[in-house]
Homo-oligomer: A and B are copies of this chain.
Amino acid sequence: MKIAVLGGDGYCGWATALYLSKKGHAVAIVDNFLRRQWDHELGAQTLTPIRPLSDRLRIWQKVTGKTIELFVGDVADYDFLESTIKAFEPDAIVHFAEQRSAPYSMIDRKHAIFTQVNNVVGTMNVLFAIRELRPQCHLIKLGTMGEYGTPNIDIEEGYITIEHNGRKDVLPYPKQPGSFYHLSKVHDSHNIMFCCKIWGIRATDLNQGVVYGTMTDEVELDEALINRFDYDDVFGTVLNRFCVQAAIGQPLTVYGSGGQTRGFLDIRDTVRCIEIACENPAKAGECRVYNQFTEQFSVLELARMVEAAGKKLSMNVEIDHLPDPRVESEQHYYNAKHSKLIDLGLQPHLLSDSLLDSLVNIAVKYRDRVDASLMLPQVNWREPRNDRRLQKSMTARATLGGAENSDVQTGKTKR
């Protein structure tokens, strides 16, 4: 099968591209390296020393004999996307090419608007390109469990049967996203559902939980293939950050009481879920939604697990409760369904002591690369950066968002 991986240089995209290539699919990576650019903007780096994509692909070819095609450009640029789709003629498009950090989207107005426009326009371009150029192509779009928020009822997979005043219908599950980023994914979901209906497009919307881990069988083949391991407050996911904090003897930073419960999954399950979606395409006109995670944990439960893993490795791990920079419930009901991918054959890698040990060990291995100043939350939901008050608090990371934001900053400084 010919599979285009949009955003294939990123954390989930890179692991997915290698996995699908290894499985014998013809894979193309489409990427504009914006994710690397954001690291520069934020003054952050992945814990692991990732190599330029051209090196990665050369080594992959050398190690496995398999070639991954590369198209460098922005899916928000339709001319580029059109020429890419025409040249590669994919049977499936796996769409990871979005700004995927909630804190990044909450830095200020410009980052909020950038996130929504970038994500919505990119996805609209993909939809129009499929309709025009590859109407049978299967769109596999990464959504997020965060689209649902934390309702006081069970979370279903995309749709819910509602009985109301004696009548019944199956409707899109009501969404309560918690950041401008999560909102952009909700916008995407509505746009995709509509295009499936009017144009008969095939789509699978994967509402993914929080991903952890960095090793997959493929990236382990050579250190030059190593994947990202983000631990900073903007792009780092919570379990990865805790492992790094444990490795350098910093307290684990739990936001608020830590009762925030979410769905989590191992990156080895991410790549398998994508494969399952590719192998079982949606029907023409179908917009199916799968919840892509394997276990639920509260943030405090995760912190306790890392604490225990650290103890086994003779580390002294403390847990710090910071004021929650987000606006979210710190204690809430959470029960999200996730059986559809299991029914199609997913065999989950559950979070185990041994995995936690290996995660902490990776953090220890690259400990010298850690910048401890990157882990305290700098972005506050209630106070987007927009005036001198906030700039004062940002001395530790004066560059946060500065590259894209110079005119707003100047404007405010003048006041």
Per-position binary interface string of chain A over residues 203-224, scored 1 when its CB falls under 8 Å from any chain B CB and 0 otherwise: 0000000000000000000000
Q: What copy number does this chain have within its complex?
A: 2
Q: Contacts A168-B152, A169-B152 known; A121 to B113 CB distance under 8 Å?
A: yes
Chain B residues with CB under 8 A of A121:
113, 116-117
A171 touches B167 (CB 8 A): no
Per-position binary interface string of chain A over residues 137-164, scored 1 when its CB falls under 8 Å from any chain B CB and 0 otherwise: 0000000000000011110000010111
Contact of A183 among B79, B160, B179, B190 (CB under 8 A): B190
B169 touches A190 (CB 8 A): no
Q: Contacts A172-B175, A381-B198, A386-B132 known; A124 to B153 CB distance under 8 Å?
A: no
Chain B residues with CB under 8 A of A113:
121, 124-125
**Nearest neighbor of A412 in chain B, beta-carbon distance:** B132
A154 touches B167 (CB 8 A): yes
The interface size of chain A toward B, counting residues with CB under 8 Å, comes to 55
Chain B residues with CB under 8 A of A175:
172, 190
Q: Contacts A112-B124, A386-B132, A411-B79 known; A190 to B171 CB distance under 8 Å?
A: no
Per-position binary interface string of chain A over residues 169-180, scored 1 when its CB falls under 8 Å from any chain B CB and 0 otherwise: 101111111111
Q: How far is the CB of A128 from chain B (nearest CB, A)?
A: 4
Contact of A78 among B109, B117, B387 (CB under 8 A): B109
B183 touches A176 (CB 8 A): no
**Nearest neighbor of A108 in chain B, beta-carbon distance:** B128
Per-position binary interface string of chain A over residues 72-89, scored 1 when its CB falls under 8 Å from any chain B CB and 0 otherwise: 000000110010000000
A190 touches B186 (CB 8 A): yes
> What separation, in Å, do the CA atoms of A4 and B223 have in the docked complex?
60
